[in-house]
Amino acid sequence: MQSNFHMRFIGIALIVLLLFPAAASAAQPYDTFYISHGTGGAGTRTYWMQDVYILGPTAPLSGEQTLNKPSDLFIARNDHVFIADKGNNRIVETDDQGRWIRSIGDQEGKGMLKGPEGVFVRDDGTVYVADTGNQRVAVFDEKGTFVREYGTPTNDLMPKDNFFVPIKLAVDARGVMFVVSKGSYQGIVRLNPQGEFTGFFGGNKAAASFIDRIKRQLFTKEQLAQEDLKRPPEISNITIDKDGFFYTTTFGSASDQIKKLNARGVNRLSGLKTVTMPESDQIADIAADESGFFYVLDRKQQTRRDGMISIYGPGGTELFRFGKTKKDPQQRGVFSYPISFDIDSRNRIWVLDSDLNVMQSFERTVFGDAVLTAAADYYVGDYKKSKENWALVRTMNELVSLTYLGLGEAAQKEGNMESAMAYFKMSFDNEGYSEAFWTYRMEWIEAKFVYVFLLAVILWLLYRYVINRVLKRFSNQLPSSIQRVTEELADGWRTMFHPYDGFYRMKGKKLSIFSLLAVLVMVMLGKLASLYWTGFIFNPINLSEIKLGREIALFFAPLATWVVANYLVSTVKDGEGRFRDVLQASIFSLMPYAVLIGPIVLFSNILVLEEGIIVSSLTSVMWLWTMVLFVVNGQVIHNFDFMENMKNSFITLCTIGLIWIFVIVSTGLTFNVTDFIYQLYKEVAVLG
Amino acid sequence: MDKAMGRRRVILVAAGAVLILGSAAWFIVWLLTDTVSHRLDIPDYTVSYMAVEGSEPWKPGQEEGQGFARAAENDRFRLSVHPDNGQMKVMDKKQGVKWSSNPSPEQVKTEKVAGTLRTNMESPFILEYFEQSKIQRQVMNGLDPSVKRTITKLEQGVAVHYDIAKVNLSFSMYYVLTDDGLEVSIPAKSIKESGPYRILSIESLPFFGAATGEESGYLFVPDGPGGLIHFPLQKELVGKGYNQEVYGPEITNRISDSDNSNEVVMPVFGMKKGDQAFLAVISAGEKSSIIRALPAGIVSSLNSVHAKFVYRQEYDRRLSLGGRSIRVFQEDPLLQDRTVRYLFLEKEDAGYVGMAKRYRQYLTDTGQVPQGPQPSVGGLVPLDLTLIGGDSNDYGDYRYERATTFKQAEEIVTELKKAGIDSMRITYKGWESKGTINPDKRFSPESKLGGGKGLRAFVEKAHGLGYEVDLAVDLVKANPTFSKLPPKSYGIRGVEEDVLLRNDQYYLNPGITYNLAMDMIRDAKEYGIDGMRFSGLGGLLFNDYNPAYNYTREDTAYLYENIQKRAQEVLGHSSVLTGNLYSLKYTGEIHTLISDPSYSYAVDETVPFYPIVLHGSIPYSLTPGNMRDEDGREFLKAIEYGAIPSFVLTYESSRSLMDTFTWGIFSSKFVDWKDDVIREYKSFNKLASVQGEPITDHYRRSEGIYVTVYGNGVSVTVDYNRKEFHVGKEGDGA
């Protein structure tokens, strides 16, 4: 509904917040944020909270063991960490605490590595190295003995102009190698276990701009040949998860920088749900854990409410972000050039910094474990199992809105619709709410239908035989001024159905100011009701965020401009109507709104999302009806014929447009002036 | 015609009348508007300068070898000075230990560096200066050929006067023996600048006692509650050593980027070398000093720690609104005496525990920390309970969101009393109307919580149960959008005299804060409030370059201290957050004492130096129990550090606060935390017997097991591996 824009606006406004939380205890040298996603236009927000990951040990590598411009990190099945220690021409293996075990590939001989930039270890312990300097993939066994190498594939399929410079690689369960080769814009080089090239995999598409497309239409072949070739951005890194999905990153690109590919190379992530900020083009690496969550390492310098590592749910919904990169860091856990990371079986993350030559670990907190376990169960649909963990999460943190989604789903499964609805409302999930409400409503009707029916009958009888009569008698004794208003309002009611007749009678008549006010008040109340009482399903926002003054102003501004514009235009076009006529007729044309908004608000409270068609069509009817009345009133009060009136109405609309454009342009033009004056005022009066 | 004229006249007259009435009304409102006075009811802070003395030239005394000559002597120490380079040595006569200002010539010979880095090692100071209208920092030391040294005699030492002809700068360094050590000063009056060169900073005795790493030991730095940098180096060196401004960077420079590093809360550093140690206290000019520790491998193969005195700030000059800026240096220097007191320790006292005990004694001797234990109710460890009333929504309509009404607060304390919590101090936060964005910073309880009546009823209720009630209030920061206090006249200003806005907030001039606090304290008394917690007073210092005041950090600290003094006199109690050292004199409790390190690459180990200094004098709490990152470990740390239990609670769900200005309270609902509060209260009260006792020892028994020993012999053993703790007599074992 109209709140969409509003909410998005707020989502952005949030970035400008204070820096430190109320109960500041800067325990870790970085902040942790939760990314709250509400459905139905509730927007995306980040909330500061306790850490999900805290600093763990730093790898104690010193002396001979010190890393030199390391480039890749891989954690094997047994939680041993393998590092492509590029500057030292070797692979380093450490234990799960980062303590040195051995180096691989630094012995003279065939296995000697040269500037290796990538490493991968299969479940059986076989080590695959992207031996960049030697332009090959080198394979070592679990003891570190050289086994074999794969050089440039020789079969015909490989394009001739393609150089094989492996920088990163992943190997699937069958032993098929997926090699990221430097300069290979066609995609990842896929090699079968025999080392034969079997095609490119998961390549990016070239981003053709609008101009490019025009050029392609207009330019000759010769001209096109002279244009710079638009090549798709190269894939920069690859990770394989336990289910055999590949995650690829593309560095230096602001779109498609993260892809989750299936075995056929099809991207399974259709749009990540992240914060509405410019997305980073410096995604360095991706890691996937056992539960299908994936972690994204972002190398760009962080600003407020940003993080170095983001944790995404399996479907690509960003949940948490933490960590920090900055220039010249002096604190552990703050990096200057994080290049690679991975996660072990106990969910410890190891991050490699190629500038500081440091390998730092992060460990999950109790809270992090509870919330991510609960979320994992939630995402696979095991709501019952996740319930317990959500309850635990809730005692530690009430801000994670996913908790209430989880608890809501669980309550719904248990048939406790009322609390399910309450939970969905807390997490601003109108879809879940709608589902729970459907059941709730059905149960309610089953239980209470008879009473409701009886009540309705009684009310009707009461109205028919008592209230109606009293009113009639009473209305005869009303003072004439009030009687006049009621009569005029009754006329307004008739006008809705017989507009020509009604507006004709209204024309030239001086209606009571109170009648006009009464209609405006009804419209106003209707607007307020629609703002505040529209059912949650159709208006899933936090009501305290409604800026009332603005809403009202924006609502009545079109009416005011119509009155003015219509009067001006029809004066020029020899319309008969005076200003008063235009005003009166325009206000009475709002009658359908005043009458129908009530039922719309009522329906929005008793219908579910699937039945939303009733609400939306009723809303459409309401606006169409109002429009028709506006058109008709123009014809009648100015005494135009049909075509004349259509023209006049059209010109009025154009005038409204012009007035608004004028207002917008002049505000825009004077903005600098007003801003200058405002800044001057601020400088003088406030800031000095 | 006439009629029309008449009507027009009437309209004119009416308009005139309206105008006059309107402006009169505006004027009256303006007159009646409650403005905060700038006038203080206490005398201004006065700076007293060291006298520049010693006109009598010094005659080198007995030769001490290597060109050093005896300069002064007392019962314990002997001071000798090298007339040719200004180097200095202190000899502990009983121990026969020498502490020298610089490494020996033999040691310097083995160093690999050259140029200034090398001569720095042989100099008693490193001077940073700049040429006016230029923006480069330049470095010079005492071995520059253009340096002329004049040594004059002092009563218990010597003054070395340096005249640096090349840059037309001169200053003196005083070496004076005291009963327990050495005092090194640079008197403000001795600094002379003529010509185009200006002093930026002076590092005094940068290599005092510098350790080669042959003997093992550590550098002590005030990182978090206390940090150690061990030598010889155990790990690969990352970063540039430890380099931190005392009490945090100066915010008026606008260049401090906010990393989450915990700032220095006490102006002290030290070194342990073998069975000898020194503790150095910056006793003058500490508020504009930097503590530097350089492990071997950064500028030399030596491990050293020293103080760097800042005379001119570097700041960002804006070239356009919100646009580019350049780094420039402040014009006028901060002329203050600068003194470091070196206190020497030996044998069992040579360690961080000995240093902390020595520092505690120094602080109580100089009256910077109240003497003796604070009384507690029935010898119990009190619970530090913070209740958040609510705050204004940061979105849309800025509506005040309730989190705990006064009535609900009554319910909370009644339940806690029933559950057996007998000693508790309640601090109410967000109670003022509109909460954090309270426009006039006056005493005005929020009506949605129950207003003044409700507050009074709550206070009476709490008193009836034997509890004390404090109010928390922020009289330092204000929001320019909502505040009625105009930033131009009440906000602090940057070096270029423009109002300082930071994260959409401005900072009130300390004098204004003082006057607002006086009114607040007076009004709080009426309501029976027992104390105040003024946030900002214990954790943030700044200059105010408003030409009308020109407050330095010293002035700010002085005014803040007087606020606490008054609160303590009138109400009986005052507490602070963080607990910077200057704020302790009139403090009854430190809420959220700094307990986490800054995770600097340089610092190897975090030790409870500050708790050892404070325990027995001022109670302190660490991170509130419901705001911990790692519950188990942080709870045990609070036990190990001798803290008191603390919680921040609300009656409603903490979701009521999530979109308000008081954000980041992620879990605080009373019903969810009640059991934890009671359990922790009981756990902490196992330490009731050590309340008011000083910590006499602290050590690591084995990996993950730490022991804290108190003055009455009770020891607390904390086992992080098994997540438990044990209270017993020393020697019991655990």
Q: A401: distance to nearest CA of chain B, Å? A: 10
Mean pLDDT across A44-72: 90
Question: How far apart, in whole angstroms, are the C-alpha atoms of residue B565 and residue A673?
Answer: 50
- Whether B394 has its CB under 8 Å from any CB of chain A: the answer is yes
ipTM of the predicted structure? 0.88
Strand order in the sheet with B63-65: B63-65, B68-73, B77-81, B88-92, B97-100
Mean pLDDT across B579-599: 91
Q: B486: distance to nearest CA of chain A, Å? A: 6
Residue B370 is predicted with a pLDDT of: 84
Q: B294: distance to nearest CA of chain A, Å? A: 13
Average pLDDT for chain A: 86
Name chain B contacts of A20, Cβ cutoff 8 Å. Answer: 258, 664
For residue B514, the SS3 value is helix
Name chain B contacts of A396, Cβ cutoff 8 Å. Answer: 666-667
Q: What is the pLDDT of residues A198-244, one digit of tens each?
A: 888 888 887 667 777 787 777 777 777 776 667 788 899 999 998 88
- Whether B665 has its CB under 8 Å from any CB of chain A: the answer is yes
Question: How far apart, in whole angstroms, are the C-alpha atoms of residue B272 and residue A18?
Answer: 41
Question: CB pairs below 8 Å between A and B: how many?
Answer: 178
Residue B259 is predicted with a pLDDT of: 56
Confidence label for B730 from pLDDT (cuts 50, 70 and 90): low
| For residue A13, pLDDT beyond 50 | no
Residue A263 is predicted with a pLDDT of: 87
Structure tokens given for B518? 């006086």
Residue A311 is predicted with a pLDDT of: 94
| For residue A499, pLDDT beyond 70 | yes
Mean pLDDT across A623-645: 89
Per the confidence metrics, is the pTM higher than 0.80? yes
Average pLDDT for chain B: 90
* Lowest-confidence pick of A14-18, A372-376, B166-170, B250-254: A14-18
Percent of chain A topping pLDDT 70 = 91
Residue A11 is predicted with a pLDDT of: 36
Give the one of A21, A60, A426 whose C-beta lies nearest to B664's C-beta: A21
Give the one of B488, B630, B654 whose C-beta lies nearest to A686's C-beta: B488
Question: How far apart, in whole angstroms, are the C-alpha atoms of residue B734 and residue B732?
Answer: 6
Q: Using CB atoms within 10 Å of the CB of residue B726, give its burial: 0 to 12 exposed, 13 to 18 middle, 19+ buried.
A: middle
Q: B194: distance to nearest CA of chain A, Å? A: 33
Q: What is the pLDDT of residues B209-261, one digit of tens each?
A: 999 888 899 999 999 899 999 988 777 778 888 999 999 888 888 775 555 56
Residue B1 is predicted with a pLDDT of: 47
**Pair type for strands B646-649 and B383-388:** parallel
Contact A545 B397 (CB under 8 A): yes
Residue B87 is predicted with a pLDDT of: 92
Mean pLDDT across B269-284: 95
Q: List residues bridging with B240 in a β-sheet.
A: none
For residue A571, the SS3 value is helix
Phi, psi of B383 (to 5 degrees): -90, 130
A303 versus A105: the higher-pLDDT residue is A105
Contact A25 B592 (CB under 8 A): yes
- The chain B residue lying nearest A30, using CA atoms, is B260
Q: B171: distance to nearest CA of chain A, Å? A: 33
Mean pLDDT across B3-17: 80
Residue B258 is predicted with a pLDDT of: 54
Name chain B contacts of A428, Cβ cutoff 8 Å. Answer: none
Q: A317: distance to nearest CA of chain B, Å? A: 21
Q: What is the pLDDT of residues A551-573, one digit of tens each?
A: 899 999 989 999 999 888 888 88
| For residue B335, pLDDT beyond 50 | yes
| For residue A617, pLDDT beyond 70 | yes
Residue A176 is predicted with a pLDDT of: 94
Residue A219 is predicted with a pLDDT of: 79
- Whether B398 has its CB under 8 Å from any CB of chain A: the answer is no
| For residue B487, pLDDT beyond 50 | yes
Question: Tokens 């991706």 label which residue?
Answer: A286
Name chain B contacts of A331, Cβ cutoff 8 Å. Answer: 259-261, 598-601
| For residue B620, pLDDT beyond 80 | yes
Q: What is the pLDDT of residues B431-475, one digit of tens each?
A: 999 998 888 888 999 999 999 999 999 999 999 999 999 999 999
Residue B374 is predicted with a pLDDT of: 60
Contact B504 A329 (CB under 8 A): no
Distance of CA A491 to the CA centre of its chain: 49
| For residue A195, pLDDT beyond 70 | yes
Question: How far apart, in whole angstroms, are the C-alpha atoms of residue B498 and residue B486?
Answer: 13
Distance of CA A122 to the CA centre of its chain: 37
Residue A347 is predicted with a pLDDT of: 94
Residue partners of A595: CB distance under 8 A and separation at least 6: A493, A496
Question: How far apart, in whole angstroms, are the C-alpha atoms of residue B83 and residue A81?
Answer: 58
Residue A16 is predicted with a pLDDT of: 34
Residue A304 is predicted with a pLDDT of: 66
CA distances to B136, B173, B440, B695 from B264, rounded to whole Å, are 27, 25, 32, 22
Residue A471 is predicted with a pLDDT of: 80
- Whether B168 has its CB under 8 Å from any CB of chain A: the answer is no
Name chain B contacts of A27, Cβ cutoff 8 Å. Answer: 596, 623, 629
Mean pLDDT across B557-586: 93
Nearest alpha-carbon partner for A606 in A467, A444, A471, A482: A444
Residue A506 is predicted with a pLDDT of: 84
Mean pLDDT across A151-157: 77
Name chain B contacts of A394, Cβ cutoff 8 Å. Answer: 672
Question: How far apart, in whole angstroms, are the C-alpha atoms of residue B264 and residue B541?
Answer: 12
Confidence label for A604 from pLDDT (cuts 50, 70 and 90): very high
Nearest alpha-carbon partner for A365 in A117, A141, A54: A54
Q: What is the pLDDT of residues B261-274, one digit of tens each?
A: 668 999 999 999 99
Distance of CA B219 to the CA centre of its chain: 21
Q: List residues bridging with B524 in a β-sheet.
A: none
| For residue B124, pLDDT beyond 70 | yes
Question: How far apart, in whole angstroms, are the C-alpha atoms of residue B502 and residue B484?
Answer: 18
Q: What is the DSSP letter of A195?
A: S
Contact A23 B627 (CB under 8 A): yes
Mean pLDDT across A91-101: 94
Of the CA atoms within 13 Å of residue A520, those in its CB half-sphere come to 16
Residue A24 is predicted with a pLDDT of: 45
Residue A9 is predicted with a pLDDT of: 35
- The chain B residue lying nearest A67, using CA atoms, is B236
Q: List residues bridging with B727 in a β-sheet.
A: B716
